[in-house]
Structure 1
Amino acid sequence: MLCSAPLAALAQTGDAPPPLRASPELQEALPPAIRAQQPVFVRGDQLSGQPDVEATIEGNAELRRGDTVIHADRMHYDVPADRARASGHVRINNAGNRYAGTLLDMEVDAFHGFFSDARYRFLATGAHGEAARVDFIDRDHSVVHQATYTTCQRTDEATWQPDWILRARRIELDQTEDVGYAEAGVLEFKGVPILPVPAISFPLSDKRKSGLLPPTFGLDSVSGFEYAQPYYWNIAPNRDATITPMLMTRRGVSLAGEFRYLEPSYSGELAAQVMPNDSLRQRDRWAWRGLHSQVLPTPLGGVGLGLNIRRVSDDDYWRDFTQRGSIVGGGGSATRQQAERLLSGEGSLNWALGANSASLRVLKWQTLQDPLAPITPPYDRLPQLHWRFAPAPSGLGLGLGLDASVDADYTHFSADRRWYAQPNARRGYALAQVSRPFLAPAGFVTPRLQLHATSYQFDDPLPGGRLSASRVLPTFSLDSGLVFERDANFFGRSFLQTLEPRAFYTYTPYRDQSMLPVYDTAAMDFNFATVYTENAFGGNDRIADNNLLTLGATTRLLDPDTGAEAARFGIAQRLRFSDQRVTMPGAPVVSERLSDVLLGAGINWTPAWGLDATVQYNPKNGEFMRSTVAARYSPGAYRTVSAAYRMQKVTDLITVPDKQLDIGWQWPLNRLWGDDRTSPAQGAGRWYSVGRLNYSLQDRKLVDTIIGLEYESCCWIGRVVLERLQRSLDSSSTRVMLQLEFLGFSRLSLGANPLATLRQHVPRYQGLRENAPVPSRFSQYD
């Protein structure tokens, strides 16, 4: 007979279901006093005892209290002591965490006692193991003796052995902090001991914890053998720190640290790295970085404070340390390389109230020079003050629908005169503009009038003896466009097709500006984002004398149900009515009446496919001056291929021709040999190829190369990555990175972290098992 009854009514036997109870999620929030009042239910083949005193269950014994369930062949429950003694095939399910063994003696609500010859499995990570004995300290703490620990999935094979396993004399499990502590252990991989573990902590979930992070080993042809051992300090939920001692056998010892903080009104991070007496450079090396953002309350509203400062000890720091996790940045392409050599030191205050906004900015650069490839340092801004007034159209009070704004800027430009033939200066600039948009469903017309006023005060006289200069220029523009729509069908698919012709005219009279120095100005790139603008220059030192008309058209294919853009095609060209005589220093006058033609296309026919292309075509000589074609294919998770071709010829703005092919990918390899399994749970693991190749067609050589293999098993991930990066015009660096990631436990790396490298360089790369869902306790509900 199967019996089930609450202990308070043990004399009344029956098979009615237990009463409704709170969900396990709600029970975790119950205070101990309320938990103690939860009823206990027992069930078994035979029940005997006294109500509210004791119960003895023989055969298929079961006890339930809150989120704890105990099964056994035999069980005795002492009601006043809340103590259960069970033997036989004993099983416990505590909020999804499972234990099994031969002998149990435990206070049920306090979850205090011991379990002999136990096996256990944790819900959050799927980790499991065996132990000679488990001591339950309370509901959140236990000690496992002579234990094993792994996350590898057990199979039904009698000879099954986990791919990796931790064997330890003692393991302490802290469910409050979700941390395990192992003592006197060894980590085995494929049956081979690979790492002695005198003491180690490891996560029981993805919760942050203090402790030693996996060490990093490396071998560098210049620095020698490298060893880094980071320590993570979880100070508080909103503050943490990482401290990393590092040994380089040919350089010496360094110490790096990073501190992060997050408060309701401010946040930031501080990082520093110090190496006393670098043996190869015969000097002390250091670097530091500080980021801080904060909102300061004032009677006139909040003021935003921002700090971003990076500094290093010497010009060679980026070359010696950037690849090895320096706090100043990461290695990579020429653009990133230059960014590593230009270190900003910036502080700003920003304020806004209604139609007014203002900012005060101080910016000072540290330029790391390479004798073979020197960089002209940018101008420091000591300081820059900017004010903007932009009222809403109704705020003007004229009822004419006008958009108006005024921008005013004062900047003190300062730089080392060894790099510049022009003097430092203080520049004041103002731009007032007013426009009247006329909008309709079928199109728009927007006339705009601008007035530019600029004044310079020079620290030293210009050639000719002038200590000041000024310029005032008006600009008129007229922007207009139409929108036509129709239903269309292409390749058996229905679309809403648009046709959007656009005409943009701008006029600025000529003023000779050749005597004005250039501090923050450069010619803008010729593309679809700049072809419909009034000025051909970015910055405020040059205002182009334009008398030109830009004509263009765009057509789009839109999904009629979602509005998503399936395809876009565009064309644009400038018609110049007079020469552009205002140019950058040394650049020729622009006299061509017809500019190059811009052609653009974007196709996203399905979510998996994407194509973007921009072509600059010169109709006079019939040549393509610049082309960018990028395509991607991403049919699913961990499957992505992207390719980009970039070509540019010598123009007035570009002096060095270039042709590059850029390919990136992440793709599973198992199907190449007929393996169609989609998950490691279905059998053997999966192989992935991942990488990125940047090939210079001009120089016929690979510039940057990253090639790697990843292996995903049920409980571990292996990575090997080869990286070759161009560091300068005549030098490159190569390194091999290896990593073993034991899921739910730790990572071991040889060399730099390959996972960080793949995320930084491979477009749309997705880490294996990234964002894996945390299992619900109902997945192991008993």
Structure 2
Amino acid sequence: MALAWAGLPALAQAQNAAQEPLPSPVLRSSPMLQERIPEDARALQPAYVSGDSIAGQANVRAVIEGNAELRRSDTIVRANRMEYTVADDRLQAEGQVHINRAGNVFDGSRLDLEVEAFRGNFTDASYQFLATQAHGDASEIQFLDRERSIIHNATYTTCRRDDEASWEPDWMLKARSIHLDQGEEVGYARDAQLQFKGVTLLPIPVVSFPLSDKRKSGLLPPTMGLDNLSGFEYTQPYYWNIAPNRDATLSSTLMSKRGVKLGAEFRYLEPTYQGQLQLDYMPGDRLRDRDRWSYGLQHQAQIASPWGGLGLNLNLNRVSDNDYWRDFTRRGTNRLLNNNRLLASDASLSWAGEDSTLMLRTLKWQTLQDVAAPITPPYDRMPQLQWRYTPLNLGHGLDMSIEADTTRFEGDPRLTRQPDAQRSYLAAEISRPFVSPGAFFTPKLKLHASQYQFDDPLSNGMRSASRTLPTVSLDSGLVFERDTQLFGRKLLQTLEPRAFYTYTPYRSQNMLPVYDTALNDFNLATIYSENSYSGQDRFADNNLLTLGLTTRLIDADTGAESARFGVAQRVRFSDQRVTLPGEVPATDRLSDILFGASINWTPQWALDAAVQYNRETGHSERTTVGARYSPGSYRTISAAYRLLRGTSEQVDVGWQWPIRNPWASEEKGREGGRWYSVGRLNYSLQDRRLVDTVVGFEYDSCCWVGRVVLERLQSSLNTSNTRLLFQVEFVGFTRLSLGSNPLQSLQQNIPRYQALRQTTTVPSRFSNYD
């Protein structure tokens, strides 16, 4: 027997509704299908009751005996017997009482509840939450409203319950009371104990924990570890959720060999600007006998103005001394500085119009020197002013750009052995692309004029210099296509020959200092460029023809590129005369041959290879081969071989792979009781030693994850940092770490690593529909 209880809106007897004509087949939205029912719609929802027998007075009171059930909105209540009174919207139920509210389930012996307000008491109850799968038992659950409740004499765990009577969770929080706020998505436990494998780890007078991934203020779990440089470490962080768009993390670290280090990170996000500020300070480092500090600031802002868009960008970084990068490799609050010996302090103010951009920039470097591997400091730009004009609608199919720049270069002449200077240049280019479905042809003309003013005379006595160079290039190619089949797959194969010619006349430039110029890497992208150098201080006297051929295999159904193969070579018509200091001029008429291949035949497999082959010596000058196999979640193996003849030869292997029953199906790590091997090994074949090593094990036990990682990372030619990292993560509660966060180390070092038990989607209340 079932009815929609009278006295509430939108009531209809089931038997009457069956006699009404069917509505026209028009789809209409229904609030009953929404994840969260709006408050105005919730008040209009009827209450449906059913049971073996129903007695009472309409619009006043109902008593349901046997298989009693009440449904309203996203709430269902079942019991052996229940009594409902309309005036105070009160439901009293007893005997195997079951509640399902938006996917959250409660079971107990006796319930007294105001249904719409969801306020009341539930005795001898157990519970399970949909979002985190957390569950437990309580002597009483006190419902304060639809979002808040208090669980008395409670247990709390995310370990999955089995059918055995002797089941005990691997970890459990026991507390005198647990306050749960589903609206704020946070829980508070009082007089609590955290137990793991039956052993009490921490007695906790008061503790808060998240009920989701939402941010909240509070103490973060401490970090402890052993380090070969700093000794025993203990770090206590505190997270401050200032506002939805601002937060801060404060930390203090005790190092047995050094002292105390303080750190802070502040982040902000506004409609027109965003950024972060990071600070570290260690007073009286006993290892170096001095104060240590670092700071980093990143700020990006967009400013609307009547003259166009204005932008302000700041990237400021500084440390106290040359040893900072070595002593604090890949750790600490300031992630901008970790393991970096060139620290930039860069500030720029930019303006962008319809066709033009203008930028004012200052750039100052801090170079952290190592006696065993010194670095020549780059030049500071104090300041740089640049204007660029690129008309969008030039007409006649023409493309044009003009760039004007003046930069003040400052450095230490004792290290750079060059005078400071003011360099100004004007660069203009115009091209006319001719494009058809099967071919393209692009002639281009470039002109570059530069002027130098030196603070001190050069070795030949010059205090100024100028240079004007034209460059002509012709880029052309064809595209042929045909349908084919390979291994049963329908494919579209292309054949794309390309010819690129460039000519720049010779102008003597060997007496000009070098401020921002370097030799371009020789690869399949730069081989089709007009200049062999980056920067503005050298323009190669090129008289080159580059010939290349590319073929691609494209899946006919999806349009995805399954494979690509390419080859290219340069033909030099005259000897190179313009060089950088110490560079040997190129005189060979034919360059090394470049080969490239990329294969992504299936989403699981990937292969990339690049070879620079010297036809005279008969071997490759440079080889890079990489392969990856990722058949599913938490399964990935990658390997790479890199050869730079005469300089280095390395093998790099990374992996994350289950050990027990590795071929069993698994959906996003939800299967518990499994070991994983993780690691990355970088081995130098030339030196016959490991350069970087990260190896360890992970254990996924349904409701907790354990990690043990040994990390040895090279910090310089002769030194390395070694750390032992250990972490226990209680799923849905917190993390306790030994070491400087092994999860972060695995994510940084292992390609395509996935964190176990990482939540990707919020479950729907309909996934636990009752």
Give the drift of 1:713: 2.1
Distance between the aligned counterparts of 2:349 and 2:8, measured in 1? 72
Quick one: which amino acid aligns to residue 749 of structure 2?
Answer: H
Q: Please tell me whether residue 89 in structure 1 is matched to residue 96 in structure 2.
A: yes
Equivalent in the alignment of 1:552: 548
Distance 1:492 1:13 in 2: 60
CA displacement at 1:13 relative to structure 2: 12
2:142 to 113, 135, 145: 135
Partners of 1:299 and 1:227 in 2: CA distance: 54
Cα distance in 2 between the residues matched to 1:9 and 1:126: 34
CA distance in 2, matches of 1:98, 1:36: 22
Deviations 1:182-222 (A, max 9, x none): 11111112222222222211111222222222211112233
TM-superposed CA distance for 1:57, in Å, is 2.4
Equivalent in the alignment of 2:729: 741
| Residues 101-154 of structure 1 deviation map (CA, whole Å, 9 limit, x = unaligned) | 112222222222211111011111111000111111121111111110011111
Query: Per the alignment, do residues 46 and 704 of structure 1 end up closer, same or farther by CA in structure 2, a change over 3 Å counting?
Result: same
Is the aligned partner of 1:23 residue 2:44? Answer: no
Deviation at 1:722, TM superposition (A): 1.2
Equivalence for 2:295: 288
Asked whether the equivalents of residues 634 and 669 of structure 2 are also in contact (C-alpha less than 8 Å), the reply is no
| C-alpha separation in 2, matches of 1:208 and 1:221 | 34
Offset at residue 596 of structure 1 (A): 0.9
Which residue of structure 2 lines up, in the alignment, with residue 351 of structure 1? 351
Q: Which residue of 1 aligns with 2:673?
A: 685
Q: Secondary structure at the match of 2:744?
A: helix
**Once the 2 structures are TM-superposed, how far is the Cα of residue 246 of structure 1 from its aligned partner?**
2.0
Once the two structures are TM-superposed, the CA of residue 436 in structure 1 deviates from its matched residue by: 1.8
Indicate whether 1:405 and 2:414 are aligned.
no
Partner of 1:662: 652
Distance 1:561 1:779 in 2: 34
RMSD, aligned α-carbons: 2.3
Partner of 2:321: 314
Deviation at 1:492, TM superposition (A): 3.9
**Aligned to 1:758, what secondary structure does the other structure show?**
helix
Would you say the 8 A contact 1:251–1:279 is kept in 2? yes
Residues 504-653 of structure 1 mapped to structure 2, 5 A cutoff: 504-650=500-646
Q: In 1, Cα distance between the equivalents of 2:16 and 2:454? A: 91
Moved more, 79-88 or 423-432: 79-88
Q: Is the 8 A contact 2:264 2:333 kept in 1?
A: no
The question of whether the paired residues in 1 share the 8 Å contact of 2:96 and 2:108 is answered with yes
**Equivalent position to 2:252, from 245, 252, 259:** 245
Instruction: Determine the C-alpha separation between the residues in 2 that align with 1:414 and 1:37.
Output: 74
In the alignment, the residues of structure 2 paired with residue 36 and residue 604 of structure 1 have an alpha-carbon distance, to the nearest angstrom, of: 55
Q: For residue 704 of structure 1, what is the aligned residue in structure 2?
A: 692
Assess if the C-alpha contact under 8 Å between 2:337 and 2:343 holds in 1: no
| Structure 2 gap ranges (5+) | 19-28
Q: Which residue of 2 aligns with 1:71?
A: 78
Aligned counterpart, 2:661:
671
Structure 1 residue 757: Cα displacement? 1.1
Match for 1:729: what amino acid?
Answer: L
Q: What letter corresponds to residue 325 of structure 2 in structure 1? A: W
Q: 1:714 to 1:328 in 2, by over 3 A?
A: closer
Structure 2 partner of 1:209: 216
- 1:260 shift after superposition: 1.2
Determine whether 1:164 maps to 2:164: no
Any conservation in 1 of the 2:186–2:211 contact (CA below 8 Å)?
Answer: yes
Measure, in 1, the Cα distance between the counterparts of 2:261 and 2:15: 70
Q: Give 1:465 shift.
A: 2.1
Equivalents in 1 of 2:433, 2:667: separation in Å? 57
Secondary structure, counterpart of 1:187 in structure 2: strand
* Matches of 1:563 and 1:64, distance apart in 2: 50
Supply the distance in 1 between the matched residues of 2:16 and 2:344 (Cα, whole angstroms). Answer: 70
Deviations 1:386-438 (A, max 9, x none): 1111113x42x5x3x22221111111111122211111111001111112222
Contact conserved, 2:379 with 2:515, CA < 8 A, in 1? yes
Structure 1 contact 648–659 (Cα < 8 Å) conserved: yes
Q: Structure 1 residues 115 and 359, CA, compared in 2 at 3 Å: closer, same or farther?
A: same
Which letter does structure 2 place at the counterpart of 1:525? D
Aligned match of 1:372: 372
Q: Which amino acid aligns with 2:390?
A: A
Q: Secondary structure at the match of 1:138?
A: coil
Q: Which residue of 2 aligns with 1:653?
A: none
TM-score, length-scaled by structure 2: 0.94
Shift of 1:646: 0.8
Displacement of 1:42 in angstroms is 2.7
Q: Using the alignment, how far apart are the partners of 1:690 and 1:176 within structure 2?
A: 38
Instruction: Give the aligned partner of residue 26 of structure 2.
Output: none
How far the C-alpha of 1:511 sits from its partner, in A, is 0.9
CA distance in 2, matches of 1:344, 1:212: 33
Whichever residue aligns with residue 443 of structure 2, its letter is P
The letter of the residue matching 1:388 is R
Contact 2:633 2:668 in 1 (8 A): no
Q: Secondary structure at the match of 2:415?
A: coil
Q: CA deviation at 1:781?
A: 2.0
Deviates more, 1:92-101 or 1:142-151: 92-101
How far residue 84 of structure 1 moved from its aligned partner, in angstroms, is 2.0
Structure 1, unpaired ranges of 5+:
332-336, 651-656
Query: For the Cα contact (< 8 Å) 2:132–2:212, is it kept in 1?
Result: yes
Q: How many angstroms does 1:563 deviate by?
A: 2.5
Q: Report the CA distance shift for 1:527/1:120 in structure 2 as closer, same or farther (over 3 A).
A: same
Give 1:684 shift: 5.0
Greater shift, 183-192 or 35-44, is seen at 35-44
Within 5 Å, give how 1:393-542 maps onto structure 2. 394-395=393-394, 397=395, 399=396, 401-542=397-538
Deviations 1:473-510 (A, max 9, x none): 11111111122222333344332222211111111111
2:743 corresponds to which letter in structure 1? Answer: L
Per the alignment, in what secondary structure is the counterpart of residue 305 of structure 2? coil
For the residues of structure 1 that align with 2:754 and 2:8, how far apart are their CA atoms? 57
What's the TM-score, normalizing by structure 1? 0.93
Greater mean deviation of Cα atoms: 525-534 or 371-380? 371-380
Q: Could you tell me whether the CA contact under 8 Å between 1:680 and 1:713 is conserved in 2?
A: no
Counterpart CA distance in 2 for 1:691 and 1:683 is: 22
Report how far residue 693 of structure 1 moved: 0.9
Secondary structure of the residue that 1:433 maps to in structure 2?
Answer: strand
- Which digits, 9 at most, give the CA deviation of each residue in 1:284-308, with x for residues without a partner? 2221111111111121111111111
Aligned to 1:334: none
> Separation in 1 of the partners of 2:476 and 2:38?
62
- Amino acid paired to 1:30: E
1:271 paired with 2:278, answer: yes
CA deviations over 1:5-58 (Å, ceiling 9, x no partner)? 414399x99765999983163763215xx6455433332223333333332222
Count of matched residue pairs: 759
Distance 1:14 1:596 in 2: 86
- The 1:5/1:484 distance shift into structure 2, 3 A limit, reads closer
Structure 1 residue 542: deviation in Å?
0.4
Whole-angstrom CA distance in 2 between matches of 1:26 and 1:631:
43
Q: Identify the residue that residue 223 of structure 1 maps to in structure 2.
A: 230
SS of residue matched to 1:778: helix
| Aligned residues with identical type, % of pairs | 60
Q: Is the 8 A contact 1:200 1:212 kept in 2?
A: no
Q: Distance in 1 between matches of 2:251 and 2:17?
A: 55
In 2, distance between residues paired with 1:569 and 1:98? 57
Match in the other structure for 2:112: 105
Deviation at residue 753 of structure 1 after TM alignment: 1.0
Q: Which amino acid aligns with 1:660?
A: Q
Q: Which amino acid aligns with 1:8?
A: G
Q: Which deviates the most, 712-721 or 490-499? A: 490-499
Query: Could you tell me how far apart the structure 2 residues matched to 1:109 and 1:122 are?
Result: 20
